Homo-oligomer: A and B are copies of this chain.
Amino acid sequence: MPLFPLYLLFLLAAVSILPHSHQYHPLDPLTPAELTLVSTILTTYYPGTTHNLTFQYIGLEEPNKDALLSWLQKNQIKTPIPPRQASVIARINHKTHQIIVDLSHNKVVYDQVYHGYGYPLLTFEEQIAANALARTHPPFLAAIRRRRLKIEEVVCGSFTVGWYGEKRRNRRLVRVMCYYLDGTVNLYMRPIEAITVTVDLDEMKIIEFRDRLTVAVPKADGTDYRESQQQPPFGPQLMGITVVQPDGPSFTIDGHIVRWGNWDFHLSFDARAGPIISLASIYDTEKHKTRRVLYRGFVSELFVPYMDLTEEWYYRTFFDAGEYGYGLCAVSLQPYRDCPANAVFMDAYIAGQNGMPVRMYNVFCIFERYSGDILWRHTETSVPSEVVTEVRPEVTLVVRMVSTVGNYDYINDWEFKQSGSMKMTVGLTGLLEVRGSNYTHKDQIKEEVYGTLLAENTLGAHHDHFLTYHLDLDVDGEANSFVKSKLQMTRVPDQSSPRKSYWEVVSETAKTESDAKVKLGLESADLLVVNPSKKTRIGNFVGYRLIPGSVVGPLLSDDDYAQIRGAFTMYNLWVTPYNKSEKWAGGLYADQSRGDDNLAAWTSRNREIENKDIVLWYTVGFHHVPYQEDFPVMPTLSSGFELRPSNFFENNPMLKVKPLKVVRSSN
């Protein structure tokens, strides 16, 4: 729930539209000039005199995959790139339009009013306007006065409302919830409970006001996390430590193409998804060719349901990407702190509500990570008259974004390894969403409070985070199959062996979408994407496998409205046939969605997925029971998964990796 968005500050900085020194890549995000062009075309098409037009989303309309792949195969210098198009979601006179603008021909090529359930992303501007409404609403002011709070210390945020079975509700609503500063910047630890201000975003007016009861606002003491506000005793200070690359980094960035070691990939930014990794490919030194692994990967949705049933809390079942924009909420990364000394930073552009480009500084950092890990090693003492020790330290490449969706900070890493692995990690930090309460000691609590008492008057609410990744793997080509290699305990017929059992590998190729659904924790299996038309020399199908991290699934009933909307979390892994329109696991219109356009709904068609261009959807989940250590700011908790080559190479591709040059520091 962004309150005052960072990007309004960016607006103050002049947007300089620099000529690009490199040719466009078809997957490059829209440039400031292109964003300006989109808004010019559409404000001409729907003039402001007769139309109330707001841009809820502008991004690249991705070229068709076959057009892009065919362009890639040709001489890219001489062949024109596929036409540049923008995908726009706009509210025009209180209707949602899905629009495609052709930027080569300066025209609208598609414009459709959406009549289904759900609404587009919220803009920062309308959230700010909604928040401001509360502060001018006399009953709200009275409620603040009654609590003996100072209105100038009150800040508010806009919360999406979800869907709870209402038959008809064709209004874009938010609930405005407020917090108290007064001696701290940690407003999230100081909720002003029991006041509900419901705002219609299109009308931009308050349609309902409730002040249910008075609950103590937690004190400011101990909540501020700024270095400047801390009092002794301090903990021990560690000595300085840094990473040094005297000869510079090993990667290059050419426009949006990043090249490092054997890897190259395209890195783009999207207001909804944040980082998009495309065309991730690895150069196979043995085959002398570049082999594609991932056509496109990004975080498709973040589902964050809270488990508190009180009136101001029950509806908090957020879709952080589809409602608030995982990219929109990206923050400026701090050199030496968010990223190590050897990091390189990248900016991005988004469109404001009026369509004009806004520069976001340092939204990505890219760095080589050298953590002291070992890529591979062995010590051999059995060879007569010599001890063989071979060790290769591990260096990886990390692409990082941090998205601060109101209180929570998501640290989003894509890590590329020399082994051909890709590791996706999300770290959760930032501030909890807490409920104000009159309780000051646990012994007073005799009812269900849906959370942990973290400090006096402060309940840390139970909640989940589910991050669903869209992974369009193209393992050495588009046509792939999903194979579950089950590890099955097998009894040995009596007397045929001194052993009574072993496990065998039973590989099942998923023919349809329903074959491919996986709930982790129920059985042991390797989860593979193979190319059924490519084999290694000795006959194994080339593939990659997905190695899960923690095993977390939803704990809501399937018929609960929030779970119907978030049904894409029902399985940890799904596989769908590639379909350009199926990007957003929670549906294109996530706000107030009803589950009719999500991953679970799409797969109910049970389409064929064998030897087809397939997409994996994998969900990283967290159940979060808060503990006092999460107060007033949370230590990072991380989880993730790995995509690891599995018979993709003929042998260990790092066999020939030379040991790192020893850098002897002058220090």
Stretch of A201-209, A489-497, A608-616 contacting B (4+ beta carbons < 8 Å): A489-497
3 A-B pairs closest in CB distance: A442-B539, A521-B521, A3-B382
> Other CB < 8 Å A-B pairs besides A2-B381, A394-B636, A450-B502, 7 of them?
A4-B384, A6-B381, A244-B244, A381-B404, A454-B538, A633-B655, A666-B666
Instruction: Write the A398-421 contact mask toward B (1 if CB under 8 angstroms, else 0).
Output: 100010100001010000001111
A540 to nearest B CB, angstroms?
6
| A9 contacts the other chain (CB 8 A) | yes
Stretch of A58-66, A91-99, A363-371, A583-591 contacting B (4+ beta carbons < 8 Å): A363-371
Q: With CB as the reference atom, state the residue of chain B lying closest to A559.
A: B500
Q: Within the assembled complex, what's the spacing in Å between the Cα atoms of A155 and B545?
A: 36
Which residues from 454 to 468 on chain A have a C-beta closer than 8 Å to any C-beta of chain B? 454-456, 462
Cβ contacts under 8 Å, A577 to chain B? none
Contact B377 A491 (CB under 8 A): no
Contact A373 B427 (CB under 8 A): yes
Say which residue of B309, B339, B651 sits within 8 Å of A499 (CB atoms).
Answer: B309
| A667 contacts the other chain (CB 8 A) | yes
Contact B165 A225 (CB under 8 A): no
| A269 contacts the other chain (CB 8 A) | no
Q: Within the assembled complex, what's the spacing in Å between the Cα atoms of A524 and B550?
A: 11
Decide yes or no: A656 and B485 within 8 Å by CB, A342-B241, A501-B556 being known contacts: no
Say which residue of B244, B382, B649, B655 sits within 8 Å of A225 (CB atoms).
Answer: B655
Contact B384 A155 (CB under 8 A): yes
Instruction: Write the A50-77 contact mask toward B (1 if CB under 8 angstroms, else 0).
Output: 0000000000000000000000000000
Contact A331 B389 (CB under 8 A): yes
Stretch of A13-21, A38-46, A103-111, A229-237 contacting B (4+ beta carbons < 8 Å): A229-237
| A551 contacts the other chain (CB 8 A) | yes
Stretch of A80-88, A245-253, A347-355, A593-601 contacting B (4+ beta carbons < 8 Å): A245-253
Say which residue of B230, B241, B372, B450 sits within 8 Å of A244 (CB atoms).
Answer: B241
Cβ contacts under 8 Å, A386 to chain B? 185
A552 to nearest B CB, angstroms?
7
| A255 contacts the other chain (CB 8 A) | no
Contact A557 B501 (CB under 8 A): yes
Q: Within the assembled complex, what's the spacing in Å between the Cα atoms of A262 and B234?
A: 11
Say which residue of B341, B492, B524, B651 sits within 8 Å of A309 (CB atoms).
Answer: B492
Which residues from 163 to 222 on chain A have a C-beta closer than 8 Å to any C-beta of chain B? 164-165, 179, 181, 185-187, 222
Q: With CB as the reference atom, state the residue of chain B lying closest to A439.
A: B538
Q: Within the assembled complex, what's the spacing in Å between the Cα atoms of A369 and B394?
A: 13
Q: Which of A230, A430, A563, A667 has the most CB of B within 10 A?
A: A667
Decide yes or no: A501 and B376 within 8 Å by CB, A240-B246, A658-B227, A661-B239 being known contacts: no
Q: With CB as the reference atom, state the residue of chain B lying closest to A429.
A: B376
| A488 contacts the other chain (CB 8 A) | yes
Q: With CB as the reference atom, state the residue of chain B lying closest to A261.
A: B236
Contact A155 B634 (CB under 8 A): no
- Would you call the interface of chain A mostly helix, strand, loop, or mixed? loop
Cβ contacts under 8 Å, A398 to chain B? 372
Decide yes or no: A374 and B555 within 8 Å by CB, A391-B334, A660-B336 being known contacts: no
Cβ contacts under 8 Å, A550 to chain B? 548-549
Contact B448 A244 (CB under 8 A): no
| A631 contacts the other chain (CB 8 A) | yes
| A580 contacts the other chain (CB 8 A) | no
| A452 contacts the other chain (CB 8 A) | yes
Contact B625 A526 (CB under 8 A): yes
Q: Within the assembled complex, what's the spacing in Å between the Cα atoms of A563 and B441?
A: 48
| A11 contacts the other chain (CB 8 A) | no
Decide yes or no: A430 and B660 within 8 Å by CB, A372-B369, A557-B501 being known contacts: no
Q: Within the assembled complex, what's the spacing in Å between the Cα atoms of A421 and B637?
A: 11
Cβ contacts under 8 Å, A378 to chain B? 225, 404, 409, 429-431, 633
Q: Within the assembled complex, what's the spacing in Å between the Cα atoms of A391 and B411?
A: 12
Q: Within the assembled complex, what's the spacing in Å between the Cα atoms of A46 and B390?
A: 43
Q: Within the assembled complex, what's the spacing in Å between the Cα atoms of A147 and B265?
A: 50
Decide yes or no: A504 and B307 within 8 Å by CB, A633-B652, A634-B376, A636-B374 being known contacts: yes
Cβ contacts under 8 Å, A48 to chain B? none
Contact B391 A338 (CB under 8 A): yes
Say which residue of B240, B431, B455, B636 sits within 8 Å of A245 (CB atoms).
Answer: B240
Cβ contacts under 8 Å, A487 to chain B? 462, 555, 623, 625
Cβ contacts under 8 Å, A179 to chain B? 382
Decide yes or no: A390 and B524 within 8 Å by CB, A503-B462, A538-B456, A557-B491 being known contacts: no
Contact B502 A307 (CB under 8 A): yes
| A632 contacts the other chain (CB 8 A) | yes
Contact A235 B657 (CB under 8 A): yes
Contact B623 A651 (CB under 8 A): no
A sample of 16 inter-chain contacts (CB < 8 A) reads: A6-B387, A186-B380, A225-B376, A240-B662, A308-B502, A314-B497, A315-B498, A343-B372, A373-B638, A376-B429, A378-B404, A420-B629, A521-B551, A524-B553, A632-B655, A635-B652
Cβ contacts under 8 Å, A462 to chain B? 487, 502-505
| A123 contacts the other chain (CB 8 A) | no
| A645 contacts the other chain (CB 8 A) | yes
| A520 contacts the other chain (CB 8 A) | yes
Contact B633 A338 (CB under 8 A): no
Cβ contacts under 8 Å, A331 to chain B? 379, 389
A139 to nearest B CB, angstroms?
23
Contact B662 A336 (CB under 8 A): yes
Cβ contacts under 8 Å, A332 to chain B? 379, 389
Contact B242 A244 (CB under 8 A): yes
Q: With CB as the reference atom, state the residue of chain B lying closest to A441.
A: B539
Q: Within the assembled complex, what's the spacing in Å between the Cα atoms of A393 and B240?
A: 11
Q: With CB as the reference atom, state the residue of chain B lying closest to A485.
A: B625
Say which residue of B227, B373, B520 sits within 8 Å of A390 (CB atoms).
Answer: B227
Contact A540 B442 (CB under 8 A): yes
Say which residue of B540, B660, B665 sits within 8 Å of A628 (CB atoms).
Answer: B540
Instruction: Write the A526-543 contact mask toward B (1 if CB under 8 angstroms, else 0).
Output: 100000000110111000
A318 to nearest B CB, angstroms?
14
A214 to nearest B CB, angstroms?
21
